[in-house]
Amino acid sequence: MVFYTPTSTRGRAAITGAALAAAAVLALGGCTSTAGGDPASGGDGEGFVIGVANGQIGNTWRAQYIAEIEAVADELTEEGVVSDLIVASTNADVSEQLSQLNDMLTRGVDAIMVNPVSSTALEPFIEKAKAQGVLVVVNDNAAAYDGTYFVGYPQTDYWTIQTRWLAETLGGEGSIVTVGGVAGMTADELRQQGAAAVLEDFPDIDVLAEGEGEWSQTTAESVMSSYLSAYPDIDGVLVQEVMPEGVLRAFEKAGRDYVPTTGDYNYGFLRKWQEQPELDSIAITNSPHIGADGVKIMVRLLQGQTFKEGELTANPLDPELVNAFLVPYPYVITREGEQDAAWMEGISPTTTAVTLDEVIADGEGAEDGESVGVTISDDALDAVFETK
């Protein structure tokens, strides 16, 4: 079983700390990057011009997200399918993202993939794009607009699985704290809904405090430090990915023993978890490869391919809008890899429980900042698309 595909050399450089910091500075100015070719070429036999608008920067997940997109675009450029890739990032600034999206339209793109800051702010851009015949694919953070597609993971499942694991690990009782992502982004909102639904089944689990870690290790460490100062008895921590290492640092600096804590799927966290036998955790591969998946699907749609009947499901934000291609989470990682565990119930049968040791062994040589995950294969996409 393969859990990890090595990121390209260019992608690995993007995930290093120094390069990440530099990218953050540039992205605040709305930078763009190209994957080769003439920006004016378009889908006229010389390749498609595609744009990617990324709504957050400053963590390794987003760095790898862009790196994986660029790697796929490079492959498509070599094949003559794509002539140019335009990437623009913003640090959760709605106005800046809208400006970047409108700039892409002005530059004559054939399609745009947007990982939105806000699910409700895109309508003027969407209407303008449709009027110009520009395909729009929403990626990762859901938004519901007629005439678009959404490609992402079933985010409600993310904290459904982890919350049930935490509740079961605590024997159905105890006091926990939570560290969520960026308030207002739909991935965080859907996860919060999943957690709340599970906790209704565990009335003896007391949520002491809820905070926002903004998918930042630094912010999560600060939030967790405040919890540790305020609450002498914390039995478990429900925290989203990117941030668990910050949470663990807070415990270490406070001189407190680890408690069961939901984890991350980058190799830095996984290796630390393996080395700490007293740490009980779980990780779900909400991989940054979802960006590359979105680009591959967007290009197929530009080529005139259509989804087979039944492959699209209801949008996570609008049950009446059937425009979503949901990619099941590939793996749930625990020390034992229990496929029949309570937290595996009710999720996609293609999601596989795997052990921490086998994932780490497969990722030998991966950088600490790289995530477990693979891009959806062409064979898998062939199975869900009709071709002209």
pLDDT of residue 59: 87
Structure tokens at 258: 């680890």
Pair 94, 317: CB distance under 8 Å: no
Pair 293, 151: CB distance under 8 Å: yes
Q: Report the C-alpha gap between 276 and 251 in whole angstroms.
A: 13
* Domain contains 299: yes
Single out the residue in 284, 316, 350 at which a domain terminates. Answer: 284
Task: Give per-10-residue mean pLDDT for the chain (388 aa).
Answer: 49 36 34 38 72 93 95 97 97 95 98 96 98 98 98 97 98 98 94 98 98 96 98 98 97 98 97 97 96 98 97 98 96 97 95 96 93 93 90
Could you tell me if 301 and 183 lie in one domain?
A: no
Q: Report the C-alpha gap between 199 and 201 in whole angstroms.
A: 5
Could you tell me if 172 and 315 lie in one domain?
A: no
Q: Report the C-alpha gap between 119 and 70 in whole angstroms.
A: 24
* Domain contains 204: yes
Could you tell me if 166 and 254 lie in one domain?
A: yes
| Bridge-based pairing state of the strands 318-326 and 313-315 | antiparallel
Could you tell me if 127 and 181 lie in one domain?
A: no
Q: Report the C-alpha gap between 302 and 299 in whole angstroms.
A: 5
Single out the residue in 284, 319, 337 at which a domain terminates. Answer: 284
* Domain contains 126: yes
pLDDT of residue 209: 98
* Domain contains 345: no
The radius of gyration computed from the CA coordinates of the chain, to the nearest angstrom, equals 21
| CA nearest neighbour of 264 among 274, 252, 256, 254 | 274
Domain count, the chain: 2
Other Cβ atoms within 10 Å of 92 Cβ, number: 18
Does this model's pTM top 0.75? My answer is yes
Residue environment code for 138-148, b if the CB has 16+ CB neighbours within 10 A, otherwise e: bbbbbbbbeeb
* Domain contains 348: no
pLDDT of residue 33: 42
Could you tell me if 27 and 142 lie in one domain?
A: yes
Q: Report the C-alpha gap between 249 and 217 in whole angstroms.
A: 9
Could you tell me if 159 and 149 lie in one domain?
A: no
pLDDT of residue 76: 98
Secondary-structure breakdown of the chain: helix, strand, coil percentages, each rounded to the nearest 5: 40, 20, 40
Structure tokens at 350: 């293609």
Could you tell me if 259 and 248 lie in one domain?
A: yes
pLDDT of residue 2: 54
pLDDT of residue 333: 98
* Domain contains 382: yes
Could you tell me if 223 and 296 lie in one domain?
A: no
What is the edge-to-edge ordering of all strands in the sheet holding 331-334? 283-284, 331-334, 352-355
Residues 6+ apart with CB under 8 A from 323: 144, 146, 148, 149, 150, 312, 315
Could you tell me if 87 and 233 lie in one domain?
A: no
Could you tell me if 105 and 141 lie in one domain?
A: yes
Q: Which domain holds residue 219?
A: 155-284
Q: Report the C-alpha gap between 187 and 192 in whole angstroms.
A: 9
Could you tell me if 14 and 105 lie in one domain?
A: yes
Return the CATH number at 107: 3.40.50.2300
- On the 0-12 / 13-18 / 19+ scale of CB atoms within 10 A, 348 is middle
In 262-334, where do the E strands start and end?
283-284, 306-307, 313-315, 318-326, 331-334
SS3 250: helix
Look at the block and give the residue holding tokens 């920006």.
39
* ∠ CA 196-323-108, rounded to 5°: 120
* Domain contains 337: no
* Domain contains 43: yes
Could you tell me if 241 and 303 lie in one domain?
A: no
